[in-house]
Amino acid sequence: MIRSAGKRNQKILIRRRFDIPTGFSDIDPKYTNGFYKWAKVTQPNSATYFDSIQTNNIITHYFEVIANDGMPISVDCEIVWSGSVYRVKRCRWLDQLKKYLLLECEEFAINE
């Protein structure tokens, strides 16, 4: 039986997105199979939200994951969680040992 690890109690799908040009000005998104991770999901407080709006880079959710495997996570990735798709805006380490990774994301679509 698989259990969640403490405060990381939400299962998320992390997948890489590739935009393939089609026609004159259209793009067709393609996705890798992705992988599942346990995450702690939080929303930024209002001060962070207003600062994000001023810089024109809106962050709607934080996903904290354990990055102990060799799967790379970058700004090319999307997160599917709770019926929505989130675009990764920034990734940063939360500790010196590079075990915990914080993904700053923007919600942009409903998962189809």
The answer to whether residue 57 sits within a structural domain is: yes
The answer to whether residue 87 sits within a structural domain is: yes
pLDDT in tens, 87-110: 999 999 988 888 889 999 998 887
Degrees (nearest 5) of the Cα angle 56, 61, 63? Answer: 125
Q: What's the predicted TM-score (pTM) here?
A: 0.78
6 Ramachandran zone, left/alpha/beta (phi>0; psi -120 to 50): left
Non-local CB neighbours of 2 within 8 Å, separated by 6+ positions: none
Q: How far is 38 from 51, CA to CA, in rounded Å? A: 28
The answer to whether residue 4 sits within a structural domain is: no
Percentages helix, strand, coil for the chain, rounded to the nearest 5? 10, 55, 40
The answer to whether residue 2 sits within a structural domain is: no
User: In terms of residue numbers, what domain contains 16?
Assistant: 10-110
Task: State the pLDDT at residue 105.
Answer: 92
Q: How many domains does the chain have?
A: 1
